[in-house]
Amino acid sequence: MAYKFDFGAIWEAMPQLLAAGLGTLGLAVAGSLLAIVIGIGGVVLRDSRLAPARWLVMSFVELIRNTPFLVQIYFIFFALPLLGAQLGQLLAGLGLIARPTNYLLIGPWPTAVIALGLNGGAYAIEIIRGGVQAVPKGQWEAGAALGLHRATVFRLIVLKPALRAIYPSLTSQFTLLTLTTSIAGAIAAYELFSEAKFIDSQIYKPFEVYFTITVFYFVISWFMNQLFQAFARRYFSYPTK
């Protein structure tokens, strides 16, 4: 029996798909924000004078870049809470908290944001670090000669030109992060791909369902890209030679 195309069925499922699309967009935005914070913070620690901090960041980056995202998100969602339970017992035992609380037991959606942020952040650290290294040494020296401390020089003098130098790479990295949200359904985080699978299992219209979410992903990704470009135009709009 030949497959009958029927986009009418999709039309009925549209409210669900749109809502799930917003879930995906939310994951992408929140994950990207967290990734930027981790990226910038990671670079500061990675190039700090504290050897343990440098070592910690390098290990984190290597760990994230050499393991699959699916394993990472499973680990955070299923494995860490077991550690959290032990920790809660310990803290309560020591009288530091009133009753045992598992701080590492968090819902699927926040877990997905954290996993995406950590994953994207590890890649962002390497990218942003490249940008920082592209800033001439003379900029650091001029800041120091003006009596500014290293952290102030980084924040006010180095960071903006560094980000400007690498924001196209950063943009691609965040496009990748946006598309990676489709894996978050694996821990039952509310997002587009898992919702599509659920709808398909109900109406048996794989072509229509996956065609529609392909369009959705494209639009979301495009939107994220525009958001980044608009931000870049605003933030990096100083003239260079």
Binding site for other proteins (CB under 8 A): 136, 138-139, 141-142, 144-149, 152, 156-157, 160-161, 164, 236, 238-241
Minimum CB distance to other proteins smaller for 106 or for 232: 232
Minimum CB distance to other proteins smaller for 84 or for 161: 161
Q: Classify each residue of 86-106 as buried b or exposed e, where b means 16 or more C-beta atoms within 10 Å of its C-beta.
A: ebbeebeeeeeeeeeebebeb
Nearest approach in angstroms of CB 45 to other proteins is 20
Residues 6, 205: contact at Cβ < 8 Å? yes
Minimum CB distance to other proteins smaller for 64 or for 166: 166
Minimum CB distance to other proteins smaller for 8 or for 138: 138
Nearest approach in angstroms of CB 144 to other proteins is 6
Nearest approach in angstroms of CB 136 to other proteins is 8
Nearest approach in angstroms of CB 165 to other proteins is 11
3-class secondary structure for the chain? CCCCCCHHHHHHHHHHHHHHHHHHHHHHHHHHHHHHHHHHHHHHHHCCCCHHHHHHHHHHHHHHHCCCHHHHHHHHHHHHHHHHHHHHHHHHHCCCCCCCCCCCCCCHHHHHHHHHHHHHHHHHHHHHHHHHHHCCHHHHHHHHHCCCCHHHHHHHHHHHHHHHHHHHHHHHHHHHHHHHHHHHHHHCCCCHHHHHHHHHHHHCCHHHHHHHHHHHHHHHHHHHHHHHHHHHHHHCCCCCC
Nearest approach in angstroms of CB 146 to other proteins is 4
Minimum CB distance to other proteins smaller for 164 or for 205: 164
Nearest approach in angstroms of CB 157 to other proteins is 5
Minimum CB distance to other proteins smaller for 17 or for 132: 132
